[in-house]
Amino acid sequence: MKSDPPRSRLETTIYKSPEGEARILSLYDSLQEGLGVSFDDRLVNTRFGVTHVLVAGPEQGPPVVITHGGNSITPQGLRGLLPLLKQGRYRVYAPDTIGHPGKSAQVRISSRDQSYGQWLNDLLDGLGLDGAAFIGGSFGAGIILRLAAYAPRRITKMALFVPSGIVAVPLASMVFRISLPYLLYVLFPSRQRLYRAVQWMGSDIEDDVLQLIAAVFQHVRVEALMPRPATKAELADLTAPTCVIAAEKDALFPGEAVVKRAKEIFSNLKVVECLKGATHYSSKPDLEYANERMAEFLEATA
């Protein structure tokens, strides 16, 4: 079952055109169907607007909330976690991040203050959950850390993969490897410039993911700011077991820097690894390994 939430006439759209929105939602449905997993749709009210959530797994299973990467969509984030989904052990809740592509309200909120923490706190209330385990990659990891600063006791454990919210993006990478190729593609779109614009992510990007990225670049007013790095003081009350898996050659969040700072700011760090040679968009072997480590972590801390 698929449902599109009602949208306020006063709400600002993140899309450049209605046709662009339709294109993104078509890719959303196509990627969701390709997962081969049965989902229910939930609409949850938050102080920032309606949030659409994909729900899968046994009703009595331990709850796990999965947050996806920035300027992307939930089915793409879930595809990287298919082994977890297909275990059939966990009750998985996968929200479309508010203000990003997908079926939630198009209200863009700040990743620099407590807004995302408040959003996830409201989401748990609306789902009837006192707490949950959290898994997040890239931008989605930084969102979880905003909840860790705002309402830490609602996190029972968390696994963060190529995470934002721990170190800042190196300026040179942001300007020369990411922003400039992106702008050149948007201004003068071509297949060659698309490859250059995503080169920093890695070399193993599938064709349908490239289609999604191209559609987002063309049709979405992208969110340029990453969640700011959490401080040790902000996370002082966080006692949840934590798993951090970084990628050595990640242009956004260099793995060794992430590992070093993770050891400084998390008081209950159970797993911390830097995948050698890995980039922000993981190769199949790296992704399989990360899934195994996160699954082991969830089981060991159950």
**Mean pLDDT of the residues in the chain:** 94
**Residue 191 belongs to some domain of the structure:** no
**Residue 163 belongs to some domain of the structure:** yes
CATH of the domain at 142: 3.40.50.1820
User: First-to-last CA distance in the chain?
Assistant: 31
Residue 2 DSSP one-character state: -
**Residue 274 belongs to some domain of the structure:** yes
SS3 state at 272: strand
Query: Model-level pTM?
Result: 0.93
**Residue 192 belongs to some domain of the structure:** no
Percent helix / strand / coil, the chain, rounded to 5 = 40, 20, 40
Residue 85 one-letter amino acid? L
Instruction: Find all residues with CB under 8 Å of 176, minimum gap 6, and list them.
Output: none
Domain count, the chain: 1
Is 119 in contact with 257 (CB distance < 8 Å)? no
Average pLDDT over residues 261-272: 98
**Residue 97 belongs to some domain of the structure:** yes
| pLDDT tens per residue across span 65-118 | 999 999 999 999 999 999 999 888 999 999 999 999 999 999 999 998 999 999
Question: Does 8 score more than 80 pLDDT?
Answer: no
**Residue 31 belongs to some domain of the structure:** yes
User: Is pLDDT larger for residue 301 or for residue 160?
Assistant: 160
In the numeric block, which tokens belong to residue 183? Answer: 């702008």
**Residue 180 belongs to some domain of the structure:** no
Is 173 in contact with 251 (CB distance < 8 Å)? yes
Instruction: Give how far the C-alpha of residue 45 lies from the chain's centroid of Cα atoms, to the nearest Å.
Output: 20
| pLDDT tens per residue across span 210-237 | 999 999 999 999 998 999 999 999 999 9
**Residue of 142, 53, 149 lying closest to 104 (CA atoms):** 53
How far apart CA 280 and CA 199 sit, in angstroms, is 10
Range of the domain at 92: 18-168+225-300
**Residue 10 belongs to some domain of the structure:** no
